[in-house]
């Protein structure tokens, strides 16, 4: 099973960040512009939260808040569950399943290296399984 580092190496999605005092509307615009479902909330170079589409739906829309005036700080998820580049895909899938979230920041020595999504993990598992099937078929055929 691949490591998180290997998954990140295969991604071309940039790390998208916002400040905690930025309006939710600005964070949503940044997410739309970069086609991501989550942004890291950074303050003075430190990860202080994560803001996702789910946070928006549940904490802004359903609570009748204004996207233009509500700061990200008020609705972000904090503290943030993170993994290191050495974690394995299966461990990350278990963590995401147990805690019911779809985005997982990768942090090494206090620096955010990237984010993996449940989609990234599914692609990895499928590719690994296809590779294993191919190897087994070659073994059986020889």
Domains of the chain: 4-141 (3.10.580.10)
Q: How far apart are CA 22 and CA 88, in angstroms?
A: 34
pLDDT tops 80 at residue 1: no
pLDDT tops 90 at residue 61: no
pLDDT tens for each residue of 42-53? 999 999 999 999
Contact 55, 77 (CB under 8 A): yes
pLDDT tens for each residue of 77-111? 999 999 999 999 989 999 999 999 999 999 999 99
- Strand order of the sheet with strand 46-52? 17-18, 38-43, 46-52
Contact 84, 107 (CB under 8 A): yes
Please provide the size of the chain in residues: 142
pLDDT at 14: 84
- Tokens standing for residue 126: 């499928």
């Amino acid at each position: 099973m691949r490591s998180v580092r290997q998954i990140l190496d295969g991604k071309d999605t940039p790390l998208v960040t916002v400040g905690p005092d930025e309006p939710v509307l600005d964070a949503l615009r940044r997410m739309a512009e970069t086609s991501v479902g989550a942004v890291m909330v950074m303050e003075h170079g430190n990860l202080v939260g994560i803001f996702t589409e789910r946070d928006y739906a549940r904490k802004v829309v359903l609570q009748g808040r204004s996207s233009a005036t509500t700061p990200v700080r008020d609705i972000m998820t904090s503290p943030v569950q993170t993994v290191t580049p050495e974690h394995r895909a299966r461990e990350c899938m278990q963590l995401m399943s147990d805690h019911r979230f779809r985005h997982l920041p990768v942090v090494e020595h206090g620096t955010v290296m990237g984010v993996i999504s449940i989609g990234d993990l599914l692609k990895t598992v499928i590719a690994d399984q296809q590779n294993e099937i191919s190897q087994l078929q070659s073994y059986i055929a020889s």
